[in-house]
Structure 1
Amino acid sequence: MNENFDEIDRRILNALQQDAAQTNAELAQTVHVSPPTCLRRVKQLTESGVIERQVAIVSPEKVGARLTAIVEITLDVQASDRMDEFEARVAGEEAVLQCYRVSPGPDFVLIVQVADMPAYHALAHRLFATQTNVRNVKAYFSTFRSKFETRISV
């Protein structure tokens, strides 16, 4: 927990994580500060990088991205430049929503969202099968999402 946050910052962050579409006046009323104070605080939190960006959360099923895969990747060579190369390759794929370097076990864990199994196979072929440095791929396919949250407790 960042000790530079005060209670107002925490209330602002919690309120924005619930609904980032509210106006500054609505946010100020929610967190019990004046609109100018609220605007200044949000600007400071954004400029300091605490607030990375504000986005809309889209329902995957309603836009045709019905298949979620959690994919473990192990590389043949784990040199820093080869790890960076793999990360750059997956960063260019829109279907890869998240990429984590992990330890121990595989080198990477990816969260992938695609339309269906043929779309996953095409992605797997592009990212894994044709790459000489990918040693092992293990994919898990979600059958039901029981929880999805983007909120971080502050």
Structure 2
Amino acid sequence: MFKQLARGVALTASLALLPLATACSGSNDDASADSEPTEVSAAPAAGVVAPAKVEVIAGLIGCTAKIRIDADELREGVCHAKKADYIITTFPEEKYKDTWLDSASIYGGTYLVGTRWVVAAKPEQLGGLRSKLGGTVQQLGGVNPAPSAS
């Protein structure tokens, strides 16, 4: 199950990077300056306010992350703790996380989402992590093609 989740997340990360790598900005306007601030969810137990690094999140979970993607748009690490395997993805800006989540919604799944970070694991593991990391548990839709009638 973890291997399928890892492949799906890796594919999602690749898809998320494609539009970011090909996009260019011809404007000096900073649209984010006029937008509403993102709600920051502090981790109640740890007292840590996101955004955090992959290694920091892994430490709070109780594992050591092995970095498998280190790009300008995101960093992703995998780690194994006593209860589950985790995929931790962090982003330098909130807009990259939003693009990643949009791409991941094609595949569906449940994620713990914070300010500029996402943790993927089995849904039953994410609720317990919320008390350590903060964030919100989000269920993404997924696209299931309808079977063709022959």
TM-score using structure 1 length: 0.29
Q: Flag the structure with larger Rg.
A: 1
Structure showing greater relative contact order (alpha-carbon pairs closer than 8 Å, 6 or more residues apart): 1
